[in-house]
Amino acid sequence: MKTNSLPELFKDLEAFIDWSLCTEAARTQKRQTTDMVEARAFYDAVVPRMDEIIDYLNTLPIDKLPADAVRLMNLTFSLAEIAPAVELFGKAREDNTFDPFRYVPQHK
């Protein structure tokens, strides 16, 4: 089995596995450096599946998620990161905002 696979029900989303990022900093980097065509393709693929994804993840204990479910959950975190870019701005970030790379989140 591939080490970067998603749960069987979500194999169709594996084309977007590179959006499954473990940290906020990594997700910010991905959002800021990805063109909107790719971001929109990711958004369009995952949004229709969100209810199903959440239902699936809710069947698992959060403190004992299998690796494939963690990757799926991280995919949803990336969706939350890019949704404003797709839904509101139409670009990676709104004009006249602070440089997102100045803020470096600390994970403990």
Per-residue model confidence as pLDDT tens digits over 69-104: 999 999 999 999 898 888 887 665 555 555 555 556
Entry pTM? 0.81
Domain boundaries, the chain: 8-89
CA–CA dist 35, 86 (Å, integer): 11
Average pLDDT over residues 30-36: 87
Q: Per mean pLDDT, which of 23-32, 49-58, 85-94 is the most reliable?
A: 49-58
CA–CA dist 59, 54 (Å, integer): 9
First to last CA, the chain: 30
